[in-house]
Chain A
C-alpha cells in the first residue's frame, strides 16, 4: 500500500479534515469535509453580562477579531437600544477597513500567492511565503508592507493590535487624535500603490490558471453580502442582499433581527460546522456563498473610484455573476483597494475627529442582532438577555459556516477533476487544499474553538485503507 504523508505546510487558519473516497478503479466516488474540533463557548457566556460579549467573542478568533468585535458591539447597541454617535460609527468603519486590509493581505500574500506565483505543482517545501520571498522578493515585501499598513490603522485607533477593547457597546471609548489621522493619511498612498500593483500582477497571471478557474467550485450557487440602499458594497453596516446565480436580486434583509426569516441552519453529519442555507429556497436548493466573491457579485458597485474601475473590468472579464471560487482571490484584491480608498474617504471627513463617540444606556431590549461583513463573509451575532442584562442565549453565524455547503461542493468538484487514485501526485492534493484556501475559511472560529488548528486531507481507497494523507 502506498502512503505518502506531506507534513507540515501551515497555510490555513483553523482545523478540518477532508476525506476523499475512491472507487475500486481509483476514481473519486465522494468527498467529505468535516470540522472536527469544537470547544463551545456558548456555555461559557451563559449568565455573563452582555457588555462582555465583544471581548469574549473577539477571543474566539485570532485572525479577524475586529469583525467579531463589531458584530458583537452592534448586537449590544441593539440591546441598549441606542443610536451610536455618527463619529463613532465612522471610526468603527475605519477600524474595519484596517482589518480588511490586513486580513486580505495576509490571505493573498501569505496563503495564496505561493500557489499562484510559484505554481500549484512546485516543490511543497518552497511553496510558502519564504519561497516567495526568495523568488519574488518585491512582491513578498509588498505583502508585508500592506499588511502592516492595515495593522497600523488598527493600532492607531485602538492602541492595541490584536484584541482591541476600544470598540465598546454604544460607540468607541476614545476619539481619534488628529496626529494619528495625519499619520494614516501620510501612509495611505503607499498602501494604495501596493494594492494597484498587486492587482495588475494578478491580472497578468490569472489566465494561466484556466484549468483551476474552470474546476474550482464553478457550480452556480446563490450569493449573499451587505449593500447599502444604493446597492453599493458595504463592510461595516448594510442590508443582506441575496442574489441567485443568474444575477437576480432575491431579497434584501431590512432589519438585522429578521435574518432568521432568510437564513436556516442545518446540522451536517460528522461536522460541527453548521450549514446555513437560504430559507425560502429550502435546504437542498438554498446553497449560497459569502465573502469577497459573493460581495462583488451582489453589489452593483463599490462606491469608490478606483475599486469601481476594477469592479467594471472584473465583471467584464468574468461576467455579471462570477461563479468560480478561484476568483475569490481576484475579488479579495479589489476589496483591499476598496478598503484603502474607503479609509481615505473616512479620514478626509472632518467629522472623523468629533469628540462625541459613545452613547450610554442600560438594558432596553432583550434581544440584539449585529451583522457585519468579516473579511471572509457575513458575520451575525445574535444574543438574548434577561432584564438584568445577563446573556441567556447566543447564536453566531460565521462566514465559513455560510460557505460550508458551497465549500463541500467545490471540494468534490476539484477532487473529481484533479485526483486520480492510481497515480498519486502532490499537486493533486494541493489543489484540493487550495480550493479550501480560496474560500479562506477560518475554522477555529466557525466551531468556536479556541486556538489554531489545521487541515488534513485523507485519500481513502475502496477497501477503506488510507492511501494518502496531507496536512496543511
Chain B
C-alpha cells in the first residue's frame, strides 16, 4: 500500500511491521510523532505491544534493555539530548549483546537550544557498539527498521536508524508500506539463544574479571566485522521480496567520476541533484552516500574511492579539535591503499541549509585546488 507519510511515521510503521513487543520512549522535538503514532497503534491494537511511558530517555533505554533480555523485540526513538542522556545505557545494550532497534532524529545539541539537523548527537555515540544507519528518504527509513532487526538479531548487536531533523523527520513522501505477511516472511520472530527466565536461571552482566572481559569485547568486534556482509545478504533478500536493495552505501555516478563526494543523510540526496547539474556542464562528478556508518564499511568505501582523482567529504558534524567525522573515517579507510587527495568540508551545522549550491561550491573548490588549504574547509561560515 502506498501512502504519503512523514519520516517520523516511517519509523513507526517500520516498528509496527516488525511486530515490536515492548516500546519505551520519552518525547523530544523533533521525534514526538514517532511515539505518538506508536501510542495510537498500541491503543487500537494495530500493534500488540506494551508501551512503557517512562519519565526519561535514560529509563526508556534501561527498560528496553530489561525487556530485550527477557526475550522481547524492543523499539524506541529519541533525538539529541535524549540520546546523549542514554549514553551509559547504549554501552549496556551493546555490551549485553541486545538487539534493540532505535530511531534517532539527528538534532543539534545545546547550549544554544537548537532543534535543527546536526549529526553530532549520534556521532558522539559511535564508540558504543551500536550499528548506525543514516537514511536519505522515508522509504529507506521504513525499510531500514525491518532490515535492522534482521541483522541485529542475527548478530546480537543493537541498531540506530538515523534521520535528519525536519529535512527528513517532518518531510512527507510517498512510501510503499509492505504487507504484514511479506514482512513476517522476511523477519522471523525474535528467539534469543539465552534470556532472562526462571526456567533457566543465569546471571547476566555480573562481576567480570580481566580473565573474561577481554574476550567478550573481542567477540563484539568480531560480530561487528560481519555486519557489512550480512547487510549485503539481507539487503539483496529485501530486494527480492520488496524490490528495493538495501546496501551499506549508495553509489551514484561514481564509475567514471574524477571527483567523488562522500555524503550521508539527506545531504546525500541533495548531492545527487548537484551531481546531475554539474555533469550537464561536463564535470565528471559522483556521489558516495554512506548509509552504514557503524561498522564503517571500509572495503566498500575503498572499492569506490580508490579510482577517483579527488575525494570531497562533507560533514554536518565535527569532532572538536580534530575533523569532520566522516572525513576521519574516509581517510582512515584509504590510508595505505590510495594517495588520492581527500578534502574535508564542514557545512550545515545546527540546521543551516545544505543546498545544491553548497555542493557546487565544494566541487568548485576541490577542482581548483591540488590539495586542501586547511585541515577543515568551512562552507558558509559568516565572516
Q: Is B one of A's binding partners? A: no
Interface residues of chain A, those whose CB is within 8 Å of chain B, are none
